[in-house]
Amino acid sequence: MTSMLFRQVSGAILAIAVGLGVPLAVAAEQVSVTFLLANDLDTIDSDEERGGFARLAALVAHERETSENVILVNAGDAISPSLLSSFDRGSHIIELLNETPPDVFVPGNHEFDFGPEVFLQRMGEARFPVLAANLRQSDGKRVPGIGSSRMFEFDGVRIGIVGITDEDVYAKSSPGDLVIGAHVDALKGEAAALREKGADVVVAVAHAKRSADMEIVRSRAADLVLSGDDHDMTVFFDGITALAESHSQAALVAVVDLLIDVDEGEGGRKVSWWPRFRIVDTADFEPDPDIQRRLDRYNRELSDMLDLELGVTDIELDSRRATVRNGEAAIGNLIADALRVGTGADVAIVNGGGIRGDRVYPAGTRLARRDILTELPFGNRTVVVELTGAQLRQALENGVSDIENAAGRFPQVSGMRFEADISRPPGQRIAAVTVGSQPLNDAEVYVVAANDYMLNGGDGYDVLAEGRVIVPPNEGKLMTSEVIAYFQAHGTGPSKPEGRITIR
């Protein structure tokens, strides 16, 4: 008897511990298929102990040596926000993926960060199958080079795999005029077609938040769901449908062994299966030497550009995901202050999801250009718009509307304070706002600094485009330049937490 802990970190799935029975004898008609899942592996700056492309490559080689039938799946978010992607727009990530090519790759929201042209260019460079059943061109035609599904066959067992890309891409990234349809509808149609072609098992590979994962599970269109986007380690099985997601950066990798039994009796072909989950800590693997040499070369190239020291921090800066997406963060204050001071705006709003370093800098840390680019890797530019107080309030309402899921829209601010009551429904949560020393006046016009991603409706900030644009993206400075200049002039002290945001 093998004991397996079923976890769900973000709260959408109830954590349960279940004993999984492993058969003592394998019948002749039983086939084992191993699914190895990577997702949200989007940087070459991996932890020294675990994770990263080189250790994942070593794990893949090990599984292919020790398991009979292996399918390597990548559930997306790859080409951004690796620090080097600020310069080559994800080209090096595709080179790394081509070295250990997945059998299935599904685009995540970060594949669209540099716009549709770069997305198509990078997917065209891929030497592996890219699947997205719900992705189309503006004229409704399939995107060249991107399929909907694949069929695998192992010892007479047919496995159909459907790719589903992130339905939230419009809010999270920049897909341009590419059309991303409803994920469950696309999955149902493609899964039915695969079963008509003889698929015994259907697998959905989805880049989708946990609530969308569970919609897919409840649809029963797929037997196994392999997902990305949430950055946590999750496995789930309700006796009908199984779900798995690996930790980001391949730190902990979910491996699912499907034990498939086929009965070709008089009643016709009957297929049953059972999942065996394995959680692999990649700290147990030595990095693949060839991949590591490539990574070392990339990092040497980066060092020449980035290791210029800027100054020393006065206070601790915490850019961890849970910090910048749930409340006031000193680093969020610093970035918002840089935008407000650099533009002369009344206030500034920065989406917490644009702060990507996911680390803590103790007071006294010597910050380099590399650190700023690690935190702000998307190449966004500063914009300035005029908004009424009512529109500014609407922007803040959007920012706190999905705090329960630690959404990237959470606002880090400068020049204002606000209180939010998250016991209220979304859209009615902002309880008080102060700009400068005065309460927000709905009729007054305020000058607001933000970034071009938000101006384009990213993270749901559509209201920004309703204001009068004073500094458009093509005239704005790079956010990184604004932050570097502000930090060198003022340090971090003025941005210490001071009660700008109150959540109750």
Tokens standing for 231? 């950055």
504 residues of the chain, pLDDT tens digit each: 333 333 333 333 333 233 333 343 344 479 999 999 999 999 886 667 999 999 999 999 999 999 999 999 999 999 987 878 878 889 999 999 999 999 999 999 999 988 899 999 999 999 999 999 999 999 999 999 999 999 999 999 999 999 999 888 887 888 999 999 999 999 999 999 999 999 999 999 999 999 999 999 999 999 999 999 999 999 999 999 999 999 999 999 999 999 999 998 888 899 999 999 999 999 999 999 999 999 999 988 888 878 889 999 999 999 999 999 999 999 999 999 999 999 999 999 999 999 999 999 999 999 999 899 999 988 898 999 999 999 999 999 999 999 999 999 999 999 999 999 999 999 999 999 999 999 999 999 999 999 999 999 999 999 999 999 999 887 888 899 899 999 999 999 999 999 999 999
376 touches 483 (CB < 8 A): yes
Write phi, then psi, for 484 (nearest 5 degrees): -60, -45
434 bridge partner residues: 417, 439
425 touches 455 (CB < 8 A): no
If you ran DSSP here, which 8-state letter would residue 55 be given? H
Q: What is the DSSP string of 355-423?
A: -----EE-TT-EEEHHHHHHHSTT--BEEEEEEEHHHHHHHHHHHTTTGGGT-TTPEEEESEEEEE-TT
Residue 329 three-state SS: coil
Q: Are strands 201-207 and 157-164 parallel, antiparallel or unpaired?
A: parallel
d(CA 490, CA 504) in angstroms, rounded, equals: 31
Give all domains of the chain, ordered by start, each with its CATH number.
29-296 (3.60.21.10), 307-503 (3.90.780.10)
- C-alpha closest to that of 26 among 261, 216, 357: 261
Residue 490 three-state SS: helix
For helices 479-490 and 330-343, angle between their N-to-C axes, nearest 10 degrees: 100
